[in-house]
Amino acid sequence: MRIRCNHAEGWTHPTPGESRCRSCGVTRFADYGALRPPGLPRALTPKPRDAGRADRAAATWIANMPRRTVWWGRGLSTAA
């Protein structure tokens, strides 16, 4: 389905995180949040400072890891 609207009429905001085109009625979701069934624990996200530290630690580990002859799926060939 192709919508031929440039949404020039503007957007209405019927509920938080949802926008609707005044002209064609298409819905746009700005504040996406994954749906979680009840009973699951709350999802935790690290603070930006901690996430940055984890990224740097992973990059350092990859840069300094010893060179190996076996890389992801490239070794131990079973072909005769």
pLDDT by residue (tens digit) across 29-38? Answer: 877 666 666 7
Q: Is 64 part of a structural domain of the chain?
A: no
Give a yes or no: residue 1 inside a domain.
Answer: no
Residue 54 φ then ψ, to 5° = -65, -40
Structurally, how many domains does the chain consist of?
1
Residue 37 domain flag? no
Q: 3: which 2 tokens?
A: 């919508």
Domain ranges, residue 22? 7-31
CA distance 56 to 63: 10
Residue-wise pLDDT for 47-69, tens only, equals: 888 988 999 999 988 888 776 65
Residue 59: strand, helix, or coil: helix
Number of Cβ atoms within 10 Å of the Cβ of 54: 11
Q: What is the pLDDT of residue 74?
A: 56
The per-residue pLDDT for 57 is 92
Question: pLDDT higher for 59 or 1?
Answer: 59
